[in-house]
Amino acid sequence: MTPEQKRQFAADVIDGLAAESPALPCKYLYDERGSELFEAICETGDYYVTRADLALHQAHIDEIAAAIGPEAHIIEFGSGAGIKIRAILEAADWPRAYTAIEISREALAQSLEVLRRQFPAIEIHGLAADYTRPIDNEVFRLDPPARRRVIYFPGSTISNFTHTQAHEFLARMARMAGEGGAVLIGVDLIKPAERLERAYDDRDGVTAAFNLNLLTRLERDLGARVNPDDFEHRAWFNPEEQRIEMHLVARRDTRIELDGQRFEFTAGDHIHTENSHKYSIESFSALLDGTGLKRIETWTDPDGLFSMHHLEAGA
């Protein structure tokens, strides 16, 4: 973490804890340990999202490759361990280049090392950055240029944004892809609340460890005074917002101290750490209005749990 990133982290934590309804940005869940725990979440029996996403890729890999087209520059947001992109790069028609954007430098370095060994003929780049913030398009310029840019955003991270944030983010993706470019984006589908809540509060306790690791980060990275044992993980479905919410709930009266500021919590108070909005194909399509993106086709996994949308830029 650079000094600038550390200052921003501290500022975001102070602003979030000082809010009327305390909340912390979910991007801070993903330090090296958090990324490891998220990979472990994906292996739990209760968390269906990754298996459904992988099943979707397996069922529709030829169609996804055709949507990308020949000699494309594929830009992936939140590349993580780089598992799904391997299948994409194998199936795609002579990819011009691949750029991975990942906030965790450690995860980025590990995935790039593997990809460069596996695909020596492809120009592979990495950018350690927060893709939720604007990125200068010049970073992605190639010489000679690719035939088109394709933004690849698998998983269900778009669900972490509010609808307003998601709309703005999609518009930024359209500008990044540019005229004639495309976006391939994963979107989790609406399903019964019981299944959703179990997926985000698994019986193995891995998601709980993932959420509580955020408090450990406050201690380690920012020097905050906080006792993680004073909090517990909880997740519930908010039917009005059609989203799962993750919270850190105070088990007893406690406090968090950071940079001379003190935030008091009584038993039962909570810190909102993540949203995961769920969509129907129709409600996600409606979200595209005014973004500059047009839905061309949608694929789902064989069980109908998860979707990927092929969007064209310039609409």
The CA distance from 223 to 280, in Å, is 42
| Each residue's pLDDT tens digit, 130-179 | 888 888 888 999 999 999 999 999 989 899 999 999 999 999 999 999 99
Q: What is the percentage of the chain residues whose pLDDT exceeds 70?
A: 99
Domain co-membership, 252 together with 295: no
DSSP-derived 3-state class of residue 126: strand
**For residue 5, what pLDDT is reported?**
86
Is residue 202 in some structural domain?
no
Q: Are residues 10 and 64 in the same domain?
A: no
- 182/84 same-domain check: yes
Is the same domain home to 224 and 77? Answer: no
Q: 252-266 pLDDT, tens per residue?
A: 999 999 999 999 999
198 within a domain of the structure (yes/no): no
User: Percent of the chain beyond pLDDT 90?
Assistant: 85
Residue 261, amino acid:
Q
Assess if residue 26 is contained within a domain: no
Radius of gyration of the chain (CA): 20
Q: Is residue 37 part of a domain?
A: no
24, part of any domain: no
Quick check: 90 and 165 in contact, CB under 8 A?
A: no
What is the count of structural domains for the chain?
Answer: 2
Phi, psi values for residue 244, rounded to 5°: -85, 140
Describe the crossing of helices 3-18 and 206-222 by its angle, rounded to 10 degrees.
110
Task: Give the pair of three-digit tokens for residue 210.
Answer: 């993932």
Asked whether residue 253 is domain-assigned, the answer is yes
Question: Could you give the CA distance from residue 296 to residue 180 in angstroms, rounded to a whole number?
Answer: 13
Question: Does residue 116 lie within any of the structural domains?
Answer: yes
One domain, residues 154 and 14: no
Tokens (6 digits) for 259:
């940079």
Q: Which long-range contacts (CB under 8 A, 24 or more apart) does 284-290 make?
A: 284/187, 284/309, 287/163, 287/166, 287/167, 287/170, 288/170, 288/315, 290/167, 290/171
Domain holding 245, by residue range, is 3-18+213-277
Annotate 21-78 with DSSP letters as a single string. S-B--GGGG-SHHHHHHHHHHTTSSS--HHHHHHHHHHHHHHHHHHHH-TTEEEEEES
CA-wise closest residue to 298 among 312, 313, 278: 312
Q: Is the separation of the CB atoms in 110 and 93 below 8 Å?
A: no
pLDDT for residue 32: 83
pLDDT surpasses 90 at 39: no
> Edge-to-edge strands of the sheet including 270-277?
231-238, 243-250, 270-277
pLDDT at 105: 82
Question: Which residue in 275, 84, 42 sits closest to 185, CA to CA?
Answer: 84
For the chain, the distance separating the N- and C-terminal CA atoms, rounded to the nearest angstrom, is 38
pLDDT at 315 over 70: no
In the prediction, which pLDDT does 129 show? 87
CATH number of the domain that residue 181 is part of: 3.40.50.150
Q: Are 266 and 150 in a shared domain?
A: no
**What's residue 210's pLDDT?**
98
Residues 180, 54 share a domain? yes
Size (the chain), residues? 315
For residues 276-299, give the mean pLDDT: 97
Shared domain for 111 and 9, answered yes or no, is no
78 pLDDT band, cuts 50/70/90, is confident
- Average pLDDT of the residues in 24-51: 92
Specify the pTM. 0.88
Residue 127, domain member (yes or no): yes
**For residue 9, what are its two tokens?**
């982290």
Contact 132, 159 (CB under 8 A): no
Find the helix or strand (DSSP H, E) in which 121 lies.
none
Phi, psi of 287 (to 5 degrees): -65, -20
70 and 161 part of one domain: yes
pLDDT at 213 over 90: yes
Q: What is the C-alpha separation between 99 and 306, in angstroms, rounded?
A: 25
